[in-house]
Structures are given as C-alpha cells and as structure tokens.
Amino acid sequence: MSSPRESSSAPASWVRGPIADLYSSYVAAAALSAAQQLGILDRLAEDGQAPFGNGGDESLSDTVVRAVHRTLHWARVVEVKDEEVVIPGALFAEAYAARGYFYWLVKGCGELFSIAPDVALAERRTGDFYHRDMRAVAVGSRLIGDEEVEPLFDRILADPPVGKVADLGCGSGQRLIRILGNHPDARGVGVDIAPAAVQLAAESVESAGLSDRITLLQGDVLELEPRLEFADVDTVTCVFMGHDFWPYDSCVQTLRRLRTAFPAARRLLICDVVRTSELPSPDTTIFTLGFEAVHALMGDYLPTLDQWQEAFRESGWKCLNVQPTTVPPNGYLFELSPVAD
C-alpha cells in the first residue's frame, strides 16, 4: 500500500487537460466580460492591435490589464506578441460577436452563481434573496439582440409604420432609439422595473437627442394599468423579459392586462428564449445553460414554445407569425394582434 507521501508525489491526471481547461475557461469568461466593459475588445476590433497592458493609461491598472490579456491569449481570443503588443487571435471574431453573452453572464449574473449553494436552501428563497447587476444585464441583452433580433424588428415594423411604440423591459433604451431612428415621426415610451436600467436608458435617450420623443417610466410590467402615455400606443414590444410573465396563470393575466393598458395597440411583438427539454450535450448552444441556470437560481419559470402558444390563445391574442432565431439560440419572435371582443 502506498503511503500518503508516495501517492501525493505522483503527477495528478487532471492538472492538464479537460478539467484544467474547465477551470481556466471560468477565468477566461470573466476576462472576456472585463475586456468588453473596459473597451479592450472594441479597440482591437477597430484598430487591429493594442499595447500589452494599459498602454500608459494611468486610469487602468497595468497589472490587471496584462492579466486580462494573458488570459485571453490562453483562450486564443487575442495573441500577445513579444509581450509588447496584443492583436486579435484565432477566435477573436467569434468572441467579439458573442461578447454580450459573456457580459450578461459574468457582470450581470456572476454574483448569483457565487451564492448558488445559499439560494439552493429553501429557507433562504424568500424576499429579495439575490442580486443582479441590471445595468450590465441591459447592456448584455442589447448586444445579444443586435446580431439578429433587432434586424427582425426593423423588417416587421416597417409595414405598417409605427406611430407610437411602447417597449416593455426597455433596458438600455437602444431599441426605442433604433425604432424612432427608422420612423422619424414616431414617439416612444419605455417601461422597466429596474432603476439602474431606467437610468441607463435615460442617458442613452439624452445622448441620442430624443428626450422630447421618448418617455421613460419605472414600473412593473406585470401590473400595468391604463395611463395617458399608453392611450395612443399602436405597437408594443417586449424582448427577453416575457418569461417574467410566467407561470401560466400570471402570464395569461398579464397578457390580458396589456390589452387594457394599451387600448389602441394593434400589434404586440414578444421575443424570448424558451426552455429546452433535452439534457445538455456537447452540441448544447451558447447561452442555453447560463440562461436556464440563472432563472432556476432566481426561481423564475421558463415556458416552452407550446406553452406560449396556449397562453396567447387564452389571453385574447392571435399569433400571426412565429420567427425562430439562431442567436440567441432557442429564441422566438411572436407577432401578435388582439382578438376582437
């Protein structure tokens, strides 16, 4: 029998290989999120290179930026040349396209994962038992939607043109800004429950010079009542927050309430990611595990595609079209109109 000393001296099989890569991937995800917020990814995308480290920018820690660069070098997102210059690596284009997913996961929801053992305890799942960075969630969601979802909205909203649009869960406000940019005579109203998101939207709207055309309200989309700002809204949009309507009875009630809150609305566009039923595998797409795990930790129910369809029928909305999305995976854009009473 080997002594403890003899056993521990043998090289461990997991110090390199799949388990080591799993460990390093966690660090790389955090580095990619940090690089997004610090503008490192944008600079590389625009200029094709950057100094290794802070490049003399005393507002940033040279040690930290070098650590981010080194980690992304391991992940093949960047390549560090002679410890002087950083250039895009073999996986930079894909990582840049996916940067919103990493920012949503790490900056937006990272704290929630760190307390997973605590919130797994039933006795702790009461009240405000978790926290997310809703500003980061809003920014990450915008980046996720830019690839495919927003161009879909552009095409659908082109005909008939928008007169006034309400965006539920407006997040960063960029969707309203984009819609009004495409429809110069339109006006908009955004609603979000998170003060940080409303503040971010206000900053974005002011920067775009649209404060006279866009109204922002802090409020719970699940509890909306008729108000003056909603009376002439003809189009309602809701992206990546429809799952907050659920479970089923709550969803049906919320969808019915939207018909009352927006009496002139002729269309409702809901885009959301649905729950998968199969076990994860090597073919599982980006976002799927993170999205489903985050909502399990928060205690939020995620519906299936069929459950959405059933809720629309019962709540008095006719589904005119269903458009699946590739990014985000398992996403669907539902185009709805109110059923005549």
Its pTM stands at: 0.91
Q: What is the pLDDT of residues 8-23, one digit of tens each?
A: 555 788 999 999 999 9
pLDDT at 4: 52
pLDDT at 2: 52
Confidence of residue 6 (pLDDT cuts 50, 70, 90): low
Q: Give the CATH number of the domain where residue 176 resides.
A: 3.40.50.150
Torsion region of 159: left, alpha or beta (phi above 0 gives left; psi -120 to 50 gives alpha): beta
Mean pLDDT to the nearest integer, 112-120: 97
Domain-located, residue 168 = yes
Closest CA to 239 of 295, 296, 305, 172: 172
Q: What is the pLDDT of residues 136-149, one digit of tens each?
A: 999 999 999 999 99
**Same-domain pairing of 234 and 261:** yes
Closest CA to 244 of 168, 332, 144, 189: 168
Confidence of residue 5 (pLDDT cuts 50, 70, 90): low
pLDDT at 192: 96
pLDDT at residue 52 is higher than 70: yes
**Same-domain pairing of 261 and 133:** yes
pLDDT at residue 86 is higher than 80: yes
Confidence of residue 341 (pLDDT cuts 50, 70, 90): confident
Q: How many CB atoms lie within 10 A of CB 296?
A: 14
pLDDT at 12: 86
Confidence of residue 171 (pLDDT cuts 50, 70, 90): very high
Angle at 325 between CA 267 and CA 214, to 5 degrees: 45
Distance linking the first and last C-alpha atoms of the chain: 81
**Same-domain pairing of 174 and 64:** no
**Same-domain pairing of 177 and 215:** yes
Domain-located, residue 285 = yes
Closest CA to 322 of 313, 334, 310: 334
Mean pLDDT to the nearest integer, 100-127: 97
Place of tokens 């974005």: 204
Name the domain count of the chain. 2
pLDDT at residue 209 is higher than 90: yes
Mean pLDDT to the nearest integer, 53-82: 97
**Same-domain pairing of 81 and 124:** no
Q: How far apart are CA 193 and CA 203, in angstroms?
A: 16
Handedness of CA 224, 228, 230, 231 (dihedral sign): positive
**Same-domain pairing of 91 and 143:** no
pLDDT at residue 189 is higher than 80: yes
| Secondary structure letter of residue 160 according to DSSP | S
What are the distances in angstroms from CA 125 to CA 108, 118, 130, 302? 20, 9, 9, 18
**Same-domain pairing of 320 and 254:** yes
**Same-domain pairing of 56 and 171:** no
Angle at 104 between CA 190 and CA 113, to 5 degrees: 125
Confidence of residue 217 (pLDDT cuts 50, 70, 90): very high
pLDDT at residue 7 is higher than 80: no
* Strand bridging mode 235-239 / 267-273: parallel
Q: Give the CATH number of the domain where residue 38 resides.
A: 1.10.10.10
Q: Report the chain's mean pLDDT, rounded to a whole number.
A: 95
What would the two tokens of residue 123 be?
Answer: 């006795």
Give the structural domain span for 312: 116-338
Mean pLDDT to the nearest integer, 116-123: 97
CB-count burial class (<10 Å; 0-12, 13-18, 19+) for 275: middle
* Strand bridging mode 214-218 / 187-192: parallel
pLDDT at residue 320 is higher than 80: yes
CA dihedral (137, 141, 143, 146) in degrees, to 10, reads: -160
